[in-house]
Structure 1
């Protein structure tokens, strides 16, 4: 393996994970070749345009292109010839109603790269996969590559948060690598040598443990979110305040305050599909009862959407037909344009199907939302969205919405009614401006 600063890297897949990984590695000084089968996406990246919203990423792509350290291609042969280390960063979406992960993109990446690996090579997966996948892919790689057993595979799961992808890549909280190969370990240590020198933990495990780390982490986070939302259900009936409850729990250092934000629940391209894939894999392994609790975690999360709709229906008198509803938020979380399994868009589309005229505004996700839900109306500003609304729903907690002036918006709406689906607003402040304020888990 070449010296760390001269190691060349290919990144297979240029979605949220791959494009961010490629640009950050170029920023760290590596020569990087990003690869994707989507020619349109590659052309965008070659021109310095990022096909999705991720804070801080576009400047890094531009810098990498200008320095020559970052290039993009659609050729697996070029990537094999160029790189010393290949990172697999393709998606593993939910396959069907079973919840199982679709591994076709991962399998295709190995199948198309392997025949071009004529010299000793290291391939490292970063995608989230069911436990047992890496061992199968390692055998597949060795069988298909001309280099044979000299083409080695390891697995190093990513822990990126959308909206913080650049920060999490450059300054991860831990690096996990599944391998029993000294050569694979040496390559990955070389990739992150600056981070390791700064004290970032570097954990080497077997392949199966590395695969489990990511899905176990997501399962735990999803459970914590659904736990506080279950407490919100209880609080509403019991007359308690879930925000005060969450604050009290947060002072217990065994629990902590992170991911104890009650509200509309989680969405996106990771948590929902990962916990479902985890359950599906447990069933295949014959240990389904061990993860049966995740079915209720998923169910609680889905009920939050229905409850938000119920609260809005109550506010406008029991039915949506003929009403005007403003929805603030389309992305599944702030600082992202990702609408995959977005609770906000799910609620908006459901209310529209019940007869309301729904107008949506989001600072970053409007284009994607229009493509996915053309039946909805869209506004180019928060003011435009709330104009003449009978009820306003805050469903993604962008700073623009959290900092909104209730007096200003009050002069635009038909009725001062708001459902705070993220518990992001100060109810006292909004009620003082004449708004009827409702939120999940609060009176």
Structure 2
């Protein structure tokens, strides 16, 4: 019977599996969803902010696919030296790689690697309990922080820096980040963009949420907003931009409330250097920019430094070269045609991509549906030439022979129970297990 592998259990991988088992062109399809981690759901589990329960509830929809009788989840399986792509193709009729874009883009400015300068990806992984993350004392001895970027991830990390114990304790955040953030002395968070508000990538819902945080005020300088030509008359702008400008205009008109924390929204500032003192971050030096007719910004030669002890860089994600697959280092994607992996410019039989590693880190979670559908359409068109080859047996036997120890769906359910039990012992709801040892022990019942 046709047996395919999907590498990656985030939204793009699960939507790919769903498209495969619910189509009626090739009957009897079985799908193994493989993941390097012992837990499914990808960035829905490890990227969505813990206080965004509505978005995190998407896990329930993904769960229904992974519990389909024709789908098998196998966590703890990494494509690499023990399981190269050519070996995976021997075990399955075809493989779809949905491995995302896990690396953070860099600013390319002096001081970027100083202690206290981190990618937002690192910070998110820490408070989201990713087992590869570590406690690096993100907020220790920090009173002011700078978030560079004006997308939704930048809004997320800015909001988390301003949250208190009462708002974070009901979430599934691990105990260590919860305690660190609740006890932090962060009083000022600056979210800074090099362009204007009309070009910011955050959505209005996430933006306005900053104004609902207890004992926190949003500080906006209208003179800075007015540098954007669209600010005075946003009528020609898309509806989302008009709503964002409306929210910013409301905050700019408010008097200070004297709140304990302040979120400063800054625009038209380009980072030139992350400055240091005594071997760690001391602030960020910015150049004032101005908008040009072509939509770009140019430097003005005027500089400003914002003192800070923590810098979070949130300027986008980038794909990493998947082991054994061709890779375009400029685009940060695997070369493909309609989802078919291209090797030497020609489609590689049985190899496909979907999600961010296919199209780059663009779109929202729902964008992965049509992306997965396009790839599956290509795979099904190729299926007659793929499924005629007999497989050596159950692919799971091949994974075990490679020295791998997959975590199946029952193992994942054991992790869920252990996280519920952990939360109960802490007087909270479900609390994520943040380390490899704890996850694997829970999966195997030890």
**Fold in common (TM above 0.5):** no
Higher strand share: 2
TM-score by length of 1: 0.30
Considering fraction of residues, name the structure with more helix: 1
State the TM-score, normalizing by the size of structure 2.
0.30
